[in-house]
Amino acid sequence: MICGSMGNESAGKPESESIPVNALVSKLQRAITSGRSSRFEMDSVDRYVRDAFFTRVTSLYRKIEPLKGEASHEAERNNLRRLSSIISELSQAMKVVQDGGYVSLVGRRGRVNPALVNRLLDVDSELFTTLDALDRSLLKYSKARATPRGGLRNFAGSISEAQELIDKRKRIVGTGPGF
């Protein structure tokens, strides 16, 4: 789930890239299996997720910005501006959520609720899948220079799905360790 889908392929790798993905997966598996983890371990997972998320958002911005200038119709430019604005709101929502994350699920004496860790992992996996699909769609759109079937509403649908996933993430994180 967390492995390949959240890797950062950018040249300027953030500090969390120095932690091998396998080590992060191992930490999560151990937490799910044993019901125990440390705040330090879960904080490293949070940093990785945060950096990977913002790398995806940056990639989306980099694809949208040139399209706005190249758009041939005002309606298309407006839709791209709206999409850019929605992505910005999504980014802000994730910043708020990042104040708590996997680390917020660590209770006294390092106890974690494996079900909550697993649910958060599933939500994050879905979120990255959605952002990657949106990224691929924008890439196709920019190469074809034609509005995709269903117009830019498809992009807004993906953004809406990502927002719902961030809201789910807020609810899980707000639950706390569950002890």
Q: How far apart are CA 158 and CA 136, in angstroms?
A: 12
Beta-ladder partners of 36? 111
User: Of the given ranges (34-43, 101-110, 140-149, 160-169), which has the lowest mean pLDDT?
Assistant: 140-149
Q: Would you say 177 and 112 are in contact if contact means Cβ atoms under 8 Å apart?
A: yes
pLDDT score of 152:
64
Burial of 14 (0-12, 13-18, 19+ CB in 10 A): middle
Q: Of the segments 10-14, 21-25, 66-70, which one has the largest average pLDDT value?
A: 21-25
User: Of the given ranges (2-11, 75-84, 103-112), which has the lowest mean pLDDT?
Assistant: 2-11
Element (H, E) at 22: helix 21-34
Positive/negative CA dihedral, 42, 46, 47, 51: positive
Q: Would you say 32 and 118 are in contact if contact means Cβ atoms under 8 Å apart?
A: yes
Positive/negative CA dihedral, 78, 84, 90, 95: negative
pLDDT digits (tens, 9 = 90+) for 101-121: 899 999 989 999 999 999 999
148 has pLDDT over 60: no
Q: How far apart are CA 114 and CA 105, in angstroms?
A: 9
pLDDT digits (tens, 9 = 90+) for 31-60: 999 999 999 999 999 888 888 888 898 888
Q: Would the pTM count as exceeding 0.85? A: no
pLDDT score of 154:
66
